[in-house]
Amino acid sequence: MCGKCKKRIRWIKTAAGKNMPCDEDFVYYKEDAAGKDKIVTPDGKVATGTIVHSPEFVTGFGYIPHFATCEYEKMFRKKRRKAKK
């Protein structure tokens, strides 16, 4: 569980040996070096690509790092952006 927003999270051990908090549900993604999304694959690799909502023509599936979707992190980021102005 995320200590900040209280959502359920899944820990995935990355190839670098770190535990990465990810969203519970998996997503399909298409690998693309210019993509804006980071996806952690079940075997711990971090892929760059685009999350797609159909399982056709995808590279595979994986999990979104939780810090990309955490409501608390979003709030925190907004506040910081405001403070800079």
Mapping DSSP to helix (H, G, I), strand (E, B) and coil, where does residue 10 land? Answer: strand
Question: Which of 2, 27, 46, 51 lies at the binding interface for Zn ion (CB under 5 A)?
Answer: 2
Residues in region 29-68 near Zn ion by CB under 5 A: none
- Determine, following the binding rule CB under 5 A, whether residue 70 of this chain makes contact with Zn ion: yes
**How many chain residues touch Zn ion (CB under 5 A)?**
4
- Determine, following the binding rule CB under 5 A, whether residue 27 of this chain makes contact with Zn ion: no
CB atoms within 10 A of CB 20: 19
**Do the beta carbons of residue 39 and residue 30 sit within 8 Å?**
no
Instruction: Give the nearest distance from C-beta 31 to Zn ion in angstroms.
Output: 26
Residue 22, token pair as written in the block: 């990810």
Residue 50, token pair as written in the block: 């685009």
One-letter amino acid at 56 equals E
- Determine, following the binding rule CB under 5 A, whether residue 4 of this chain makes contact with Zn ion: yes
Q: Site residues (CB under 5 A) for Zn ion?
A: 2, 4-5, 70
